[in-house]
Amino acid sequence: MDSPVRQHSLREHNLALVLRRVATNPRPLSRADVAAATGLTRATVSTLVDDLVAGGLLAELEPVPRAGVGRPATGLALSPHGPCGLGLEINVDYLAACVTDLSGTVRHQIVRHVDQRDRPAGDALAAVAELAAEAADVAAAEGLPVAGAALAVPGLVRQNPHGGGHVHVAPNLGWRDVPVPAALGALTLRVENEANLAALGELQAGEQDPDVSPSFIYVSGEVGIGAGIVLDGQLYRGAHGWSGEFGHLTIDANGPRCHCGARGCLEQYAGQDAILRAAGVAGEDAVPAGLERIQRLAQAADPAMLAALGAAGAALGIALAGAVNLLDVDAVVLGGSYAPLAPWLRAAVEEELTTRVITAGWSPAEVRASALGPEATVVGAAGSVVRDVLAHPAAWLATLS
Amino acid sequence: MDSPVRQHSLREHNLALVLRRVATNPRPLSRADVAAATGLTRATVSTLVDDLVAGGLLAELEPVPRAGVGRPATGLALSPHGPCGLGLEINVDYLAACVTDLSGTVRHQIVRHVDQRDRPAGDALAAVAELAAEAADVAAAEGLPVAGAALAVPGLVRQNPHGGGHVHVAPNLGWRDVPVPAALGALTLRVENEANLAALGELQAGEQDPDVSPSFIYVSGEVGIGAGIVLDGQLYRGAHGWSGEFGHLTIDANGPRCHCGARGCLEQYAGQDAILRAAGVAGEDAVPAGLERIQRLAQAADPAMLAALGAAGAALGIALAGAVNLLDVDAVVLGGSYAPLAPWLRAAVEEELTTRVITAGWSPAEVRASALGPEATVVGAAGSVVRDVLAHPAAWLATLS
């Protein structure tokens, strides 16, 4: 709104418009289809398409013979050899990397199980840079230029506008005041909270499906609990990028002390350690690790675990009801380790939403398990890079000239 | 993003751009200033300005002699005779109307104290239509064309895109399933939740001040409690227009029963009736009415009332801390009857925010009393009409031809 639309930005806008029209259409489109759908002239569309093809963003498919007179039209689709995004993740017990192409298809994925808890932040960053280099090699071998990288961290992140940033605190990694470099080699590196990127992954996974709501809260439960908020198809990051600190919503003002200093935070009722504690199962050093132990006991219908999951679901439902009352979103998505636990959490969550959301009688919020599961974060990270290219193709084309 | 930018919408965009540039500048601007600030050519700016002047949106002020050579430039400002907005409000014990001009200045305001509680909805709508006619007469007498009307209702509203809508429920008016007509005479009538419009009023009041954050939660406490959410300078209405049902955030899952059917809602701790009850003061039929009684006792330092306000502030602070953790807004605004009670609520609210907001150590949310007080709603309603004209001047110009 603040930028004047002159010929230059007119071209930028229309490049994005044409690219997006092709990207969101389930079938290849002819230039004439694009002109009809955008209201632009065929001559304008042709010029824009030529630029997008030359820049490797669109590909012209073989003409398909069709009935009727006239030359068969060439079909336009996103290029399978276009720029890709590199997603990276540092989490409590693993590192991950992922490459997605323009269509959002995962072309490469690595997960390396390494406990990060007693490791200096610099070592984790060095290890993830190695993983990134491997992934970039795979992309190069497949002929995919890498447009940039995004790193997911389970913490409170200040993002710098031109790459890099600062992790204020990532409690479960033991990080405090960790700077993140602005680049990995020649690639710009963005850094962001993991739940934000997972919500973006979830959004991308549902974008082709008209039944999937574009307004939802994605809540991810591990030892900590985070949320990503998607409003009208856009990730809402907050004034400082700190939105979605869902684990610290108050369930009981006089409840158990939380590591944050307050009392009765949701994490103390619905975090993994809290669930294990409520079920009377030993602490965090036991094997197998938290989620797996919870799942095994739940699958064995262990009564203490079923009760603990019901109580966790109720606490989660109370906090989610508050969020739905506040934000009027259509859906809540159980993500991270809540996705595999959804069968045991869902009923309690739904009951609280039904009782506590004032509009539940008119339009109840849907409760669903994440479509991607734990991969949502690293896939969302890679997708966030691709999303930027699709939204600003002129910026990508400018890097080529 | 989805609409193609062709010559037609290019003009629409640039009309809005030029108008906004003049509107947001504290001093009159010359055409050359506008060209420099927007990056548009002087010829383009002149054509657009001519259209905006002809449509009564901009006025050319007398040339001010200036030092140096050259013809003194004409100053451009919003026209004091431009289209105005008509704001209307139906509340528990009053009706109100307000006229604001293009600059947001209130040109006329009426408040009529009438108890709406035992009155059929049709009578209240008829009475507010009378008030609207009076206000429109005043606007006509001042030479201000009325661009449209917006009606604030303390309830859950479904807005129709082209005017009118449906009030699902407005508990404190005793309304259920009340249709709102799409027009008042020749004027389009929009209908919206009161807290949303009050938040918009608050946003408008602060828009000229760079120190006022464009991301805040406005919370309004009467018998019920509502909130309006402003994110990055935009009112966030939610997927159905139902955002900000703040009074039903849970404070204690096992707390007192709320009229909504749930237990322990914020309204049961921080609504006017709850404060009076906690202070041991008689119920709602007593004279003077709720807010005034609370204020008198607080000013007299009545210990029971001070304790009740402290407890209400703590409950409010717990709910606001949840909202700030979720949304990462810079400020919370105490509005409606919380504005005059702010001196007795603020300390408890701030204490909960400091303890419970995870990012309070890096960037604490500011707590402030509403700049407009109870008038925020009707002023925001009128302003919402003007805001539409300023955002879409081409639509206004089209009504004139």
Range in A98-102, B74-78, B394-398 the model is least confident about: B74-78
**E strand or H helix at B298:** helix B290-299
Bridge-based pairing state of the strands A225-231 and A216-221 = antiparallel
Which of A78, A97, A113 lies at the terminal end of a domain, its last residue?
A78
**Closest CB to B328 among A4, A239, A329:** A239
pLDDT band at B73 (very low <50, low <70, confident <90, very high): low
Q: Does A307 touch chain B (CB under 8 A)?
A: no
Give dist(CA B11, CA A10) in Å, integer: 12
Six-digit token string for B350: 């701030």
Do B4 and A14 lie within an 8 Å CB cutoff?
yes
pLDDT at A1: 44
B31 is a domain residue: yes
Q: At what angle do helices A7-24 and A31-38 cross, to 10 degrees?
A: 110
Q: Are residues B340 and B394 in the same domain?
A: no
Mean pLDDT taken over chain B: 92
pLDDT, tens only, B250-305? 999 999 999 899 999 999 999 998 999 999 986 655 445 788 899 999 999 999 99
Measured between CA atoms, the residue of chain A closest to residue B246 is A326
Q: Are residues B17 and B150 in the same domain?
A: no
pLDDT at B3: 64
pLDDT at B1: 44
For the cut 70, the answer to whether the pLDDT of residue A132 exceeds it is yes
Contacts of A210 (CB under 8 A, 6+ apart): none
Q: Are residues B363 and B222 in the same domain?
A: yes
Give dist(CA A99, CA A386) in Å, integer: 10
For the cut 50, the answer to whether the pLDDT of residue A337 exceeds it is yes
The domain in which residue B179 lies consists of 84-199+377-400
Spell out which residues of chain B touch residue A10, defining contact as CB-CB under 8 Å.
Answer: 5, 10
Q: Are residues A55 and A89 in the same domain?
A: no
Q: Which residue is it, tokens 């009159």?
A: B28
Task: Enumerate the H helices of B189-271 as residue ranges.
Answer: 194-206, 267-270
CATH number, domain with residue B13: 1.10.10.10
- Share above pLDDT 70 across residues of chain A, in percent, rounded to a whole number: 93
Instruction: Report the b/e string of A314-335 with b at 16+ CB within 10 A.
Output: bbbbbbbbbbbbbbbbbbbbbb
Q: Are residues A325 and A192 in the same domain?
A: no
A1 is a domain residue: no
Do A329 and B248 lie within an 8 Å CB cutoff?
no
Which of A37, A52, A78 lies at the terminal end of a domain, its last residue?
A78
- Share above pLDDT 90 across residues of chain A, in percent, rounded to a whole number: 78
Nearest to B142 by CA among B99, B97, B184, B183: B99
Long-range contacts of A257-261 (CB under 8 A, 24+ apart): A259/A171, A260/B358, A261/B355
Give dist(CA B368, CA B383) in Å, integer: 21
Q: How far A24 CA lies from chain B's nearest CA (Å)? A: 11
Q: Does B243 touch chain A (CB under 8 A)?
A: yes
| Strand ranges across the sheet with A234-236 | A234-236, A225-231, A216-221, A331-336, A366-369
Do B328 and A357 lie within an 8 Å CB cutoff?
no
pLDDT, tens only, B160-215? 988 999 999 998 899 999 999 999 988 999 999 999 999 999 999 888 777 888 99
B188 is a domain residue: yes
Q: Is the ipTM of this complex over 0.90?
A: yes
Spell out which residues of chain B touch residue A251, defining contact as CB-CB under 8 Å.
Answer: 253
Q: Are residues B16 and B68 in the same domain?
A: yes
Give dist(CA A154, CA A156) in Å, integer: 7
Express the helix, strand and coil content of chain A in percent, nearest 5 each: 40, 25, 35
DSSP 8-state secondary structure symbol assigned to residue B263? B
pLDDT at B68: 62
> Higher-confidence residue: B155 or B93?
B155
Burial of B27 (0-12, 13-18, 19+ CB in 10 A): exposed
pLDDT, tens only, A341-399? 999 999 999 999 999 999 999 999 999 999 888 899 999 999 999 999 999 999 999 99
pLDDT at A69: 63
Mean pLDDT of B343-353: 98
Burial of B141 (0-12, 13-18, 19+ CB in 10 A): exposed
Spell out which residues of chain A touch residue B267, defining contact as CB-CB under 8 Å.
Answer: none
Contacts of A306 (CB under 8 A, 6+ apart): A298, A344
Mean pLDDT of B303-317: 98
Measured between CA atoms, the residue of chain A closest to residue B233 is A239
Do B328 and A241 lie within an 8 Å CB cutoff?
yes
CATH number, domain with residue A304: 3.30.420.40
